[in-house]
Amino acid sequence: SYVVTQPPSVSVAPGQTATITCGGNNIGGETVHWYQQKPGQAPVLVVYDDRLRPSGIPERFSGSNSGNTATLIISRVEAGDEADYYCLVWDRNNDRYVFGAGTMVTVL
Amino acid sequence: DVRLVESGGGLVQPGGSLRLSCAASGFTFSDYWMHWVRQVPGKGLVWVSRIDSDGNSITYAEAVKGRFTISRDNAKNTLFLQMKSLRAEDTALYYCARTQYGSNPFRSGFDIWGQGTTVTVSS
């Protein structure tokens, strides 16, 4: 089955840029979605189709996908961005869906 | 207001059964593919199952295949997850989620989530 890999944690100072990766074999040929989940809350879609933002999501959230790595970038990080972030990919060979293990973003 | 509300969770003994429901409102339920996703407290998200808009295309995670059955009633705007032969490792918060409307629903993300219903499998 398709496997995606995320770093367990990322720490960033307020106002700086957080970069969260999602690695997978030729993931650039797939479509990646990103979710933010705060404690006690349901996940929220922050980037879909590699780089698009749903309405209501700040422009500070952006995404890219190429080669073996998809990336979620949070610019000008705020305290409210502290959360777990998950990538999601469709495993086309098995018709199943795969979440990354999640990255905890800590705002210093 | 677009909304998904799960129900049916609870405490069940190993080997037991449970049926989860997800009531949809605020959108045309029959137009959307739907998913179940679960999460053990303190752990990550795990996809469980997907059903297409008509109920004809269904897929399951390997861990639940043969034990769980996803279905839907478009007339009642409700998604279901019938769970049988439950194990301790099925203990989790179960979310239903809507597939984002797009040209290829297979690869689309999940744009609307419920708040989840908790399933605890324990003797």
Cβ separation of A99 and B46 shorter than 8 Å? yes
Cβ separation of B44 and A43 shorter than 8 Å? no
What whole-number distance in Å separates Cα of residue B37 and Cα of residue A94?
17
Cβ separation of B47 and A96 shorter than 8 Å? yes
* pLDDT given for residue B20 in this prediction: 98
> CB–CB of A12/A73 below 8 Å?
no
Contacts of A43 in chain B (CB under 8 A): 45, 95, 110, 113
Identify the helix (H) or strand (E) that includes residue B23. strand B18-25
* pLDDT given for residue B105 in this prediction: 85
N- to C-terminal Cα separation, chain A: 36
> CB–CB of A35/B45 below 8 Å?
yes
* pLDDT given for residue B102 in this prediction: 76
**Spans in chain A with pLDDT lower than 70:** none
> CB–CB of A37/A99 below 8 Å?
no
Nearest to A95 among B59, B95, B110 (CB): B59
* pLDDT given for residue B113 in this prediction: 98
Q: Which residue of A has its CA nearest to B36?
A: A97
pLDDT tens by residue, chain B, 123 residues: 999 999 999 999 999 999 999 999 999 999 999 999 999 999 999 999 999 999 999 999 999 999 999 999 999 999 999 999 999 999 999 999 999 987 788 889 999 999 999 999 999
Helices (H) and strands (E) in chain A, counts: 0, 9
Cβ separation of A48 and B108 shorter than 8 Å? yes
Give me chain B's average pLDDT, please.
96
What whole-number distance in Å separates Cα of residue B83 and Cα of residue B85?
7
Residues 55-114 in B contacting A (C-alpha not used; CB under 8 Å): 59-62, 95, 100, 102, 104, 106-111, 113-114
- For A65-76, the pLDDT digits (tens) are 999 999 999 999
Q: What one-character DSSP code corresponds to residue B31? A: G
Q: Which of B112, B96, B119, B100 is nearest to B23 (CA)?
A: B96
